[in-house]
Chains A and B, each alone.
Chain A
Amino acid sequence: EAQVTQNPRYLITVTGKKLTVTCSQNMNHEYMSWYRQDPGLGLRQIYYSMNVEVTDKGDVPEGYKVSRKEKRNFPLILESPSPNQTSLYFCASSFREGEKLFFGSGTQLSVL
């Protein structure tokens, strides 16, 4: 089944403790992206990648890192999480940028 898989679904952590949210797609998509969803703010792009080893900042990149060493994986790294990063995070992929986006099921992160 074609899908974008994120893990974990739920995560509670404390300020400053490094964490990684994994994302994997099995559709051979070139384009991958991370969004955060906050009430009243919709979906805002954090980082995106147009292909392996090519990443770039979205609208709200501060406090996040990503890497794209393999085509299928695009992990989101929070090196020193802060409470304002408490949010619902979505990974998405598409064959190319600007085409139909497939979203993962989301990761609800709480930073205490």
Chain B
Amino acid sequence: GENVEQHPSTLSVQEGDSAVIKCTYSDSASNYFPWYKQELGKGPQLIIDIRSNVGEKKDQRIAVTLNKTAKHFSLHITETQPEDSAVYFCAATMNQAGTALIFGKGTTLSVSS
């Protein structure tokens, strides 16, 4: 089955710096890669996703890149702000009936002002 590795487990940056979180997946059939942000005391919330027919996707300060050959995808946050502090999860799935969304173990991002 699918296995998703996420690095780093913790990341501390200064406000205004960029942050990058990387994930690798094992199943080459996976074709959907979402990223979720979990703030303290809340459930995870989708912030961006990418499908395997696209190499990069941007949404304001957030971007995701996908390298299908190497089976890795990354989350890039530019001009970080204190409100970006949260736990971030990557996930992967084959997007077929009966196949689960497999999550990475999470990255705790701390942005200090």
- A residues near B (Cβ < 8 Å) are 4, 33, 35, 40-45, 48, 50, 56, 58-59, 90, 92, 97-98, 100-101, 103-106
B32 to chain A, nearest CB (A): 6
Complex contacts, A101 vs chain B, CB 8 Å: 34, 36, 44, 46, 101
B residues contacting A by CB (< 8 A) are 6, 32, 34, 36, 41-46, 49, 89, 93, 95-101, 103-106
Majority SS of interface residues in chain A?
A: strand
Count A/B pairs, Cβ under 8 Å: 56
Prevailing SS type, chain B contact patch: loop
Q: How far is the CA of A2 from the CA of B96 in the complex (A)?
A: 25
Tell me the minimal C-beta distance from B101 to chain A in angstroms: 7
Complex Cα spacing A59 to B95, Å: 16
